[in-house]
Amino acid sequence: MEIKGIHLLLTYQCNFRCDHCFVWGCPEAKGVMTISDIVEILGEASQIGSIAKVFFEGGEPFLYYPVMLRGIREARGMGFDVGVVTNAYWATSREDALEWLGPMVDAGLSDLSISDDLLHSAQGNEKPASAREAAAELSLPTGSIVTEDPREQDSDEKKGGSVMFRGRAVEKLTEGMPKEPWTVFTECKREKLENPSRVHLDPMGFVHICQGLAIGNYRERPLSEIIGEYDARSHPICSPILKGGPVGLVESYGVPHAEDYVDECHMCYCARLALRERFPEYLAPDQMYGS
């Protein structure tokens, strides 16, 4: 596989507790990367050769601002393009946002993605706009991550992406949603499990090909080795999903299942939850499963 980007979950902590969060981010979440973790990961990423872009995200990475800043500087110094994903809680005003973003731009940040929707914040929250204004003043390109609330059924106009029914979204947002019979979910449509272009790395060391679906742990084996040796067809969870989607997964291991699900990720997440004890090194960590 040719990995083009790595996404560092700098922390699982977040100042928000969004219903649709697929990493169960919240203020009490455990797990933060250290500077030496980041430096080691970046060194390995350099060795892999194909990686061009490094993202810092979470949780909310601005909660560990100095560590993120150092990470941006280190990554840029190694020649990577660097992006950050944030909910913009820190952008109290345009002027204040300039103070946060200025040093990040100086360190080499070249992309700021801002979560900007009603699932992330109460109506009338001006912070994403303040962050964008400040970024524009610094010539820092921004993107908005807009996720539609699936409970808002009355709006015909589609304004953003759809919720991924994994993580907390399964607990909070599936009730009352239209569902389809479990037998139709024979394909994973959202992740390229066989040849992914990016992976997520978390503070516990797990390398995720989909949130909570690990292909190794960089605290136990070098990242370059994990990426170099990954073979989806011999991975105990990816292999059945590749052959038959979430249906393939439940049939391979005789997992009890419901009669219907909102989408393939909903079914997959529930099956993985049931399989965690059997495959603890692949279906981890607890943070990704809300435990």
Q: What are the residues binding ligand SF4 (CB under 6 A)? A: 166, 188, 190-191, 210, 213, 241, 246, 264-265, 268-269
Nearer to ligand SF4, 132 or 166 (CB): 166
Nearer to ligand SF4, 96 or 191 (CB): 191
Backbone angles phi, psi at 98, to 5 degrees: -60, -35
CB of 18 to ligand SF4, least distance (A): 18
Q: 213 with 206: CB under 8 angstroms?
A: no
| Residue given tokens 């360190």 in the structure block | 107
CB of 272 to ligand SF4, least distance (A): 7
Nearer to ligand SF4, 29 or 268 (CB): 268
State the DSSP string of 128-195.
HHHHHHHHHHTT--EEEE-B--TT-TT--S--SBPPP-STHHHHHH-TT---EEGGG-----S--SSS
Tell me whether residue 280 is exposed, middle or buried, using C-beta atoms within 10 angstroms of its C-beta: 0 to 12, 13 to 18, 19 or more: exposed
CB of 249 to ligand SF4, least distance (A): 8
CB of 243 to ligand SF4, least distance (A): 13
Residue 245, phi-psi category: left (phi > 0), alpha (psi -120 to 50), beta (remainder)? left
Nearer to ligand SF4, 191 or 225 (CB): 191
Pairing of strands 206-210, 213-217: antiparallel
Is the Cα torsion angle 33, 29, 287, 120 positive or negative in sign?
A: negative
CB of 176 to ligand SF4, least distance (A): 21
Pairing of strands 109-115, 81-86: parallel
The residue type at 100: W
Nearer to ligand SF4, 30 or 190 (CB): 190
For residue 25, whether the previous peptide bond is cis, meaning omega lies within 30 degrees of 0, is: no
Nearer to ligand SF4, 136 or 258 (CB): 258
Output the six-digit token pair for 267. 């079914």
Nearer to ligand SF4, 91 or 214 (CB): 214
CB of 242 to ligand SF4, least distance (A): 9
CB of 245 to ligand SF4, least distance (A): 7
